[in-house]
Amino acid sequence: MSENEVFVGKPQKGTKIYGRKAGEERKMTPEEYTKYLEATGPAIYKELDRKIKSGHFKRFKTEKEKKAEVSRIVSEIREKEKRKFKF
C-alpha cells in the first residue's frame, strides 16, 4: 500500500474488549491481540486495496479527507472484529 501512500499502524496493545454484560471491559490477552491482528490486518489491506482500485479516494479533495476516510475504514473493521471477542 505504500505505493499509494496509505499507511496503517498497529492497534494499541492495550486494546479493550467488552463483556457480555453492559459496562464490562478488559484489555485483550496477548493471544487475543495476536488473533485480532491476524484477522484485521488482511481485512484492512483487502478493503483499502479494493477502495484504491475502484477510485474511491479520488472523490476526496484533500489529503486530510483521504486520511479521515482511511481512519474510518480501519476503525470500522477493527470494531467489527472486536465484537467477536466476548468474555
How would you write the pLDDT of the chain (87 residues) with one tens digit per residue? 556 677 899 999 899 998 888 889 999 999 999 999 999 999 999 999 999 999 999 999 999 999 999 999 999 999 999 999 888
Closest CA to 58 of 47, 69, 72: 69
Instruction: Say what the pTM is.
Output: 0.85
Angle at 65 between CA 59 and CA 70, to 5 degrees: 90
